[in-house]
């Protein structure tokens, strides 16, 4: 494979001089900060949050580096994974010229972000067992294909993509391959994060929203070669991760053991719920899952969805999504929530 990062980056991005914040121009120790036009008297709510956050998130990246065993220089933090996705489009894809490949059914923001950035989307649908059709995907690639988006474990199907198929793409595609591992902590498969040194075109997305239970903080992570991270840092807004998020994420990362226990509990409930679902008449099929949700095929999905709403239970109707016809996507809840759901489904005649 002949991979050239410089040939992939948009020319205006390669020559971009990033905005230099006040905190970028100063390094070292000081006690009086009069450089950033902050309110020096503090805040009516939290006095210590009157200062701009660290634009480089050094402390948080250092802790993530220890937990993930990835150098801090290979970590980018975004305002949710959605910011990481948007930035990658802006770095690598020339509007109206370049294209990307997605593998539906998959996470919808790849296509939304592509459309916002005026980038052509080419679709290589998954097979009937929700795996990659590598031959069809390869045939879609041309000189203007810049990114292939892979979600594994996949949303909304819940399964992991075949590792050998992903490696085939990494080894044969000269553009960027993004593996979205938002649900990797719930999976039997290992992350590709330790393969970063082997694949200069690999970018991995992870998040604090799922296993870490911090969806409200909006904190996504991208892992890649240092040269890619440097470009992402050039393009991002200077203070994209607020200080509250940085501080709370550092605190959460001290509780790896607790998070691992929660993951085990959710996986155990997922397996138990799948077995119970198989005994409920309205449910026709339960798909295997490596995520914190189950994709289930039901009789008359829209009707079941609306019925659950009358019981105060909200699931996701995916019945109009390609290859997910007749399916609902159901997040694993608490034991109480799962029981209420099972009772409601079992009552359907």
DSSP lists the bridge partners of residue 207 as 220
Per-residue model confidence (pLDDT) at position 126: 98
Per-residue model confidence (pLDDT) at position 267: 98
Tell how many helices (H) and how many strands (E) occur in the chain: 13, 11
Fold of the domain spanning 5-24+51-254: 3.40.640
Q: DSSP string of 300-331? A: THHHHHHHHHHTT---EE-TTSTT-TTEEEEE
Fold of the domain spanning 257-346: 3.90.1150
Q: DSSP string of 7-50? A: HHS-HHHHT------HHHH--S--S---SS---TT--SS-GGGS
Q: How confident is the model at residue 310 (pLDDT cuts 50, 70, 90)?
A: very high
As a whole-number percent, the residues of the chain with pLDDT over 90 amount to: 89
Start-end ranges of CATH 3.90.1150.10 in the chain? 257-346
DSSP lists the bridge partners of residue 220 as 78, 207
Over the stretch 29-77, which tens digit does the pLDDT of each residue have?
A: 888 888 888 888 888 877 778 999 999 999 999 999 999 999 999 999 9
Burial class (CB in 10 A: 0-12, 13-18, 19+), 170: buried
Q: How confident is the model at residue 1 (pLDDT cuts 50, 70, 90)?
A: low
The stretch 8-20 carries a mean pLDDT of: 93
Angle formed at CA 110 by CA 107 and CA 116, multiple of 5 degrees: 140
What does pLDDT average to over the chain? 96
CB 158 within 8 A of CB 152: no
Q: Return the half-sphere exposure (C-beta side, CA atoms, 13 A cut-off) of residue 292.
A: 19
Over the stretch 187-244, which tens digit does the pLDDT of each residue have?
A: 999 999 999 999 999 999 999 999 999 999 999 999 999 999 999 999 999 999 999 9
How far apart (Å, rounded) are the C-alpha atoms in residues 233 and 104? 30
Start-end ranges of CATH 3.40.640.10 in the chain? 5-24+51-254
Cα-based distances in Å from 266 to 53, 186, 270, 300: 34, 8, 6, 28
Per-residue model confidence (pLDDT) at position 286: 98
pLDDT at 28 over 90: no
The stretch 312-318 carries a mean pLDDT of: 98
The stretch 275-302 carries a mean pLDDT of: 98
């Amino acid at each position: 494979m002949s991979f050239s990062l410089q040939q992939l980056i948009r020319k205006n991005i390669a020559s971009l001089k990033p905005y230099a914040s006040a905190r970028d121009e100063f390094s070292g120790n000081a006690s009086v900060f009069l450089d950033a036009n902050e309110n020096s008297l503090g805040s009516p709510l939290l006095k210590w949050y009157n200062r701009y956050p660290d634009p480089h998130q050094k402390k948080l990246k250092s802790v993530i580096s220890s937990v993930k065993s990835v150098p801090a220089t290979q970590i980018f933090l975004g305002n949710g994974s959605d910011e990481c996705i948007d930035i990658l489009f802006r770095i690598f894809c020339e509007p109206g010229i370049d294209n990307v490949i997605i593998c539906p059914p998959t996470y919808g923001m790849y296509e939304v972000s592509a459309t916002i950035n005026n980038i052509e989307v080419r679709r290589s649908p998954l097979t009937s067992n929700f795996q990659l059709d590598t031959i069809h995907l390869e045939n879609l690639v041309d000189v203007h294909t810049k990114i292939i988006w892979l979600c594994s474990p996949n949303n909304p199907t819940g399964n992991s993509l075949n590792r050998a198929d992903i490696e085939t793409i990494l080894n044969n595609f000269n553009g960027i391959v993004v593996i979205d591992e938002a649900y990797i902590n719930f999976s039997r498969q290992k992350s590709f994060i330790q393969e970063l040194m082997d694949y200069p075109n690999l970018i991995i997305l992870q998040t604090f929203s799922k296993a870490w239970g911090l969806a409200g903080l909006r904190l996504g992570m991208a892992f890649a070669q240092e040269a890619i991270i440097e470009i992402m840092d050039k393009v991002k807004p200077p203070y994209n991760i607020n200080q509250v998020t940085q501080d709370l994420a550092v605190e959460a990362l001290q509780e790896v053991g607790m998070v691992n226990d929660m993951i085990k509990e959710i996986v155990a409930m997922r397996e138990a719920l799948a077995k119970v679902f198989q005994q409920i008449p309205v449910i026709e099929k339960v798909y295997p899952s490596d995520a914190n949700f189950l994709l289930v095929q039901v009789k008359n999905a829209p009707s079941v969805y609306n019925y659950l709403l009358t019981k105060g239970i909200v699931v996701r109707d995916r019945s109009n999504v390609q290859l997910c016809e007749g399916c609902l996507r159901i997040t694993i809840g608490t034991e109480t929530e799962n029981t209420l759901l099972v009772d409601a489904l079992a009552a359907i005649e």
